[in-house]
Structure 1
Amino acid sequence: MNGSSTQVVTDTAKERAVQGRRRLFGAAVSLTVGALFVLMTVTLSPGGYDVPDLVLIAFFALTLPYTVVGFWNAVVGLVVMRFARDPLAATAPAVAADDPARSIEAHTALLVCIRNEDVAPVVRNVTAMIEGLVDADVAERFDVYVLSDSNWLDVIVEEESAIESLRHRWQDRIRIVYRRRADNPGFKAGNIRDFCETWGDDYAFAIVLDADSYMSAAALKRLVRVMEANPQIGILQSLVTGLPTTSFFARMFQFGMRLGMRSHTLGAAWWQADCGPYWGHNAILRLEPFRAYCELPKLPGRPPLGGDVLSHDQVEAVLMRRAGYEVRVIPEEFESYEENPPTLMEFLRRDLRWCQGNMQYGRLIGLPGLKLVSRIQLVLAMLMFLGSAAWIGFMVATAMIVVFATEPAVLFRPDTGLAMLVTILTMVFAPKLASIVDVLTRLRARQSFGGTMRLLASVVGEVLFFMLIAPIAALAHTLFLLGLPFGRTIGWSAQRRSGHGVPLLVALRRLWPQTALGIAGAIGFAGVSTGALIAAAPVVTGLALAVPFAVITAWPRLGRFAVRVRLWQIPEEGERPAALAPLALPALAPHPATDMVDAPIAAVSEPANG
């Protein structure tokens, strides 16, 4: 058998293995959804089924797919983390085969996409990345493009001055191009498409960066090496983690994300394989097929659901896969960072932008030639928000049934109801639980999160944080979705990425629906029974406290206190990698009271058995 035949046999075996994984995963998800659906129908069986029962069942069914897929991603991720000899080889074999010693040859553009941003952090991050590339002696292989869609005059003036200073400083070491569009058709996707049409012929690859993105030189080189060695890969996405921060809200949020993302991403990569995700930043594109096959269609109708596609990334991923190229994710942390929203207000604004963009996928699911997995990904992206609204609908319908029922005892079976509640909560928290189990069994990992006691205290605090924020966000999604058919839109506006306070009146103006519904729900359930109020407390508490929650979690002093006592610490705060030193992040500033505790971490070796 010659080498070509051997390769065909090997590729066929790999494809069969991937198909086997997808069938197994699909069977697990389908059986779980079916079992929970039956459990809900049994729970509502006392007294037979009437219209309110059918409404509850319909809402519940809509919440299940996204929740169940997340649960099984976490289970698979935990199994891979704990039992695979090489987790990376099991989920991203092309990445696992990368040779860090191999030099890079391709010419790559770094695309920094900005719109009315605070210029100083952008320049800080770009400068640090350039310095890293220069120190690694690979700067001649990269060019930097600052692609601006800004339309605020004061920001434009500051951008032009700052980038000109950068160009003057690095003119002999690396090429820096600043381009501003007078208008922003196509939003960010249009910004990148404009680069492709103007300069795309000059580069093999482009690494897409947001205004708050930062990647070390080692991470940038790794993306290029993998793409050079694997011409079948069209998009390679890095696992993005939050930068150390003094924002209390962002600390809590990214601590939970850090615990959940690795198990979730490992599990998803195990079955998605070559149909992986693209998150729109901190990723590398193979420009020739991206230009040829990934131009976004103009959707019929008017915004918010027609016109330009707002959430471009996953659409470009499925178009790349349709063209025969792989889309892969690297499911491990490796110095690829972003800044998370510093306040609840900014978090909700970002979420609603994604919500609007994801709802446009309904007009794209039927595109000819898409892989089945790609269509499923688009559906799940929609269900992330539709399920959130269905959950609110389920809660409101349940409340109305309980409040107006004459005999509450016959509404549902308490035994199956309790079983279902415990099961759903376990599934919701599964990604975090999986990573917590993994971290607690590894000495160095525990220390990187501040030690066992700080880790456990931080987990308890983050769970409470999640329980408060979940109903607030869910109601925001619901109200936004209800407004979409009437033309409500969010657009692509500037984000406030640095820590700042939230005035009480601003919070009240934005969050009064949550407050009103929470108070009304508490009064209604209290009128039924104390038990009913206790059962509803996790939801009505978050809603009723939305305004003080938004204000308090934005207090700068509270965030700085959390840094000092090392709560909700992420590993970079314990290990302080050299790659982050040029950013001079306040969260990594020396703290004499804690540095003596941090010092031994570097000297601790991980036991061979974990």
Structure 2
Amino acid sequence: MVLYHGVCTVRRGIRSRNRVLERSPRQAIQADAAGNDIFGRRLLFAAIFSGTMAGLLGLAALALTPGGFGIVDMMLLALLAVTLPWMVAGFWNAAIGLLIVRFSADPITAVMPAAALIRGDEPVTASTAILLCIRNELPERMIRNLEPMLAGLDAAGCGDRFNLYVLSDTSDATIAGNEEAGFAALTSRWCNRIAITYRRRAVNTGYKAGNIREFCERWGSKHDFAVTLDADSLMTAEAVLRLVRIMQMDPKLGILQGLIVGLPSTSAFARVFQFGMRLGMRSYTIGSAWWQGDCGPYWGHNALLRLGPFIAHCALPLLSSNATEDRHILSHDQIEAVLMRAAGYDVRVLPQEDLGWEENPPTLIEFIRRDLRWCQGNMQYWRFLSLPGLRPVSRYQLALAIVMFIGSPAWIGLFVLGTLAVAFSDTPADFIRADAGMALFVCMLVMWFAPKIASAIETLLRPELRRSFGGAGLFIVNFVIETVYSILLCPILWFGHTIFLAGLMLGREIGWIGQTRDDHAVPFRLALRSLWPHTLLGCAALGLLAVTQPAAIPYALLLAGGPALAIPFAMMTAWPWLGSLAVRIGIGRLPEETTRPAVLLALALPAIESAAPLPRPSAV
């Protein structure tokens, strides 16, 4: 293990802990309990969720009645039942979120009451560790992202209450040497202002969770809270201080997750994805927070942990152990969240969009690599569904995380079986009723895009929000582009998950590896090697329908179009010139490219500096 500790004399001024606040944590908890019937909300959500599931399955059964209800129809209905939970939950989370955003005076405090207790000038008395977890990443970008936050904490007079820990699991010797040199220089620059500790493990036991656990065992007792950051994370000092002040006010709060949005990118693939991510996150998160309440999500980074209960209750068990190798949990965050809640501490999300950013993969190939790691991690959750002491909502969250990826082979099964059934019917009407089938088709499309539709409605109804996206015209163009993009992307991912899950059953696994974050082209050979099975599936289905039932092709394109075009889609969305053009003309434009926050200007991001000019007010 390599240890480099920045031993600097950091001023440790004593902050007063006796300042009288307008409302005490006890009063906040009482007000929250009195004003929020969480059980009633959860009961309502369960009722509408179950009712919607039953209604859609009934509609599907009706649609499949031509020619009787046989074994193929039963299989299709069973596959549909697997795909529905994630979509139905997303639809109702988005609908609830839209209602709160439109009709609540303060949507954030409506779902996170403790946020209303913070004025922003409360003394920061807690000692907070900032944990940057890295593995085989170039240090220059991480240092670039850290320094504005460190400068903000120092300018706020709070530098003595924070300690940055760079927790490296880097295995590449060259990158490790650059890390040590880069963070040694960073430590020197911030000496006497903010303490910085760099530590590298020789073996990444337990992956990221093991990295943080090693910190907890070694230094955790020195601090009250910990901010968790990934290598691609960016948080402002204001965001960190806001999370810390909220947690100081509420002693029951164990994990406070900040909303994360995409950092403006010059990759065409990432730009369109991040535009959709921005639309999909806020309404969905606010809606889910309304009924999940104190059983909220933890996404593993851009969040604040209360270290005492985290150390005591959130140690992850081994998946298995033998004489040669221990198997560890890959996706740690949701397990830690449910363990924290089981210990009696709240896990909440603060759905505020200026709390932090993350970088997204610049190409489809890199995106799939990251997605498969999440897939493997979520599949490990089934072992914890029966864990003693978990709340019912926690078990639902774990089950939904599993179904999110199990739904992928169900989608592909629906696609393949449905294509074969239509192709070998005399007419499509012999397989599916036109009226019920069209109603089901429309319902599925609405639910699929509901989180983005909800945020789009809110954006178009608010002039200042429309302007932040570049005006109504540009926003609508981007919404259409993102919709087509999602229709192509999702089936590609679903088939990728299906192949991977089949391999997982045969013992194939992936580990925790570094990511390529810089824009780069995807050569034809790489795209062909990675995506030929997808292309074969899509083209085979469309070819079969072209020969047998050409009228069904427009409907089949929703699931077959993406796989059939996977190779050119991967190559074209990675073209650097296309990304540069998208930045200049505003494709995938984010609000940060209009308002240009100071923290992003300080990073000199190409997507910020090259963004299209602001539209004239008449275009809004």
Counterparts of 1:546 and 1:409, CA distance in 2: 31
- Alignment pair present for 1:317 and 2:337: yes
* Alpha-carbon offset, residue 551 of structure 1: 0.6
- Tell me the amino acid that sits aligned with residue 568 of structure 1: G
Aligned counterpart, 1:159: 179
- 1:393 corresponds, among 395, 413, 419, to 413
- Alignment pair present for 1:342 and 2:389: no
Q: Which moved more, 1:480-489 or 1:375-384?
A: 480-489
- 1:438 corresponds, among 433, 453, 458, to 458
Q: How does 1:62-461 map to 2 (within 5 A)?
A: 62-300=82-320, 307-406=327-426, 408-461=428-481
Aligned counterpart, 2:599: 579
Residue-by-residue CA offset, 1:566-605 (whole Å, 9 max, x unaligned): 12111000000112222110111156xx43648x79xx9x
* Alpha-carbon offset, residue 299 of structure 1: 1.4
* Alpha-carbon offset, residue 9 of structure 1: 7.1
Q: Which moved more, 1:119-128 or 1:143-152?
A: 119-128
What SS does the corresponding residue of 1:234 show, helix, strand or coil? strand
Q: Would the aligned equivalents of 2:258 and 2:355 in 1 still touch at CA under 8 Å?
A: no
Residue-by-residue CA offset, 1:156-197 (whole Å, 9 max, x unaligned): 111011011111111121111110000011100000000000
Counterparts of 1:384 and 1:142, CA distance in 2: 37
- Alignment pair present for 1:595 and 2:604: no
Aligned counterpart, 1:492: 512
* Alpha-carbon offset, residue 389 of structure 1: 1.6
Counterparts of 1:5 and 1:179, CA distance in 2: 39
Report the identity percentage.
51
Q: Would the aligned equivalents of 1:215 and 1:337 in 2 still touch at CA under 8 Å?
A: yes
TM-score with structure 2 setting the length: 0.93
Counterparts of 2:63 and 2:583, CA distance in 1: 45
* Alpha-carbon offset, residue 12 of structure 1: 5.2
Counterparts of 2:105 and 2:591, CA distance in 1: 23
What SS does the corresponding residue of 1:179 show, helix, strand or coil? strand
- Tell me the amino acid that sits aligned with residue 344 of structure 2: G
Counterparts of 1:513 and 1:76, CA distance in 2: 39
Q: Would the aligned equivalents of 1:252 and 1:462 in 2 still touch at CA under 8 Å?
A: yes
Q: Would the aligned equivalents of 1:144 and 1:176 in 2 still touch at CA under 8 Å?
A: yes
Counterparts of 1:577 and 1:315, CA distance in 2: 34
Aligned counterpart, 1:607: none
Counterparts of 2:208 and 2:468, CA distance in 1: 36
Aligned counterpart, 1:515: 535
What SS does the corresponding residue of 1:143 show, helix, strand or coil? strand
Q: How does 1:470-485 map to 2 (within 5 A)?
A: 470-485=490-505
What SS does the corresponding residue of 2:354 show, helix, strand or coil? strand
Counterparts of 2:588 and 2:261, CA distance in 1: 14
Counterparts of 2:25 and 2:182, CA distance in 1: 53
- Alignment pair present for 1:570 and 2:590: yes
Unaligned runs of 5+ in 1: 605-610
Residue-by-residue CA offset, 1:520-567 (whole Å, 9 max, x unaligned): 111101011220222212222211110010011011111111111112
Aligned length: 594
Counterparts of 1:7 and 1:527, CA distance in 2: 66
Residue-by-residue CA offset, 1:377-434 (whole Å, 9 max, x unaligned): 0000011111122111111111121223345431111110000000010011111111
TM-score with structure 1 setting the length: 0.95
- 2:38 corresponds, among 10, 15, 18, to 18
* Alpha-carbon offset, residue 306 of structure 1: 8.5
Q: Runs (4+) of structure 1 moved beyond 6 Å?
A: 3-9
What SS does the corresponding residue of 1:595 show, helix, strand or coil? coil
Q: Would the aligned equivalents of 1:515 and 1:547 in 2 still touch at CA under 8 Å?
A: yes
Residues 1:407 and 1:568: Cα distance change in structure 2 (over 3 Å): closer
Q: Would the aligned equivalents of 2:270 and 2:361 in 1 still touch at CA under 8 Å?
A: yes
What SS does the corresponding residue of 1:539 show, helix, strand or coil? helix
Counterparts of 2:215 and 2:209, CA distance in 1: 10
What SS does the corresponding residue of 2:228 show, helix, strand or coil? strand
Counterparts of 2:432 and 2:421, CA distance in 1: 11
Q: Would the aligned equivalents of 1:237 and 1:278 in 2 still touch at CA under 8 Å?
A: yes
Counterparts of 2:272 and 2:589, CA distance in 1: 9
Residue-by-residue CA offset, 1:64-111 (whole Å, 9 max, x unaligned): 111100000000000000011221221000122222121211110100
Residue-by-residue CA offset, 1:113-156 (whole Å, 9 max, x unaligned): 00001221111112222122222221111111100000011111
* Alpha-carbon offset, residue 22 of structure 1: 0.6
Counterparts of 2:219 and 2:280, CA distance in 1: 38
Residues 1:9 and 1:351: Cα distance change in structure 2 (over 3 Å): closer
Q: Which moved more, 1:449-458 or 1:165-174?
A: 165-174
Q: Which moved more, 1:492-501 or 1:401-410?
A: 401-410
Q: Would the aligned equivalents of 1:306 and 1:360 in 2 still touch at CA under 8 Å?
A: no
Aligned counterpart, 1:608: none
- Tell me the amino acid that sits aligned with residue 386 of structure 1: I
RMSD of aligned alpha carbons = 1.9
Counterparts of 2:582 and 2:337, CA distance in 1: 38
Q: Would the aligned equivalents of 1:499 and 1:554 in 2 still touch at CA under 8 Å?
A: yes
Residues 1:30 and 1:586: Cα distance change in structure 2 (over 3 Å): same
Q: Would the aligned equivalents of 1:450 and 1:567 in 2 still touch at CA under 8 Å?
A: no
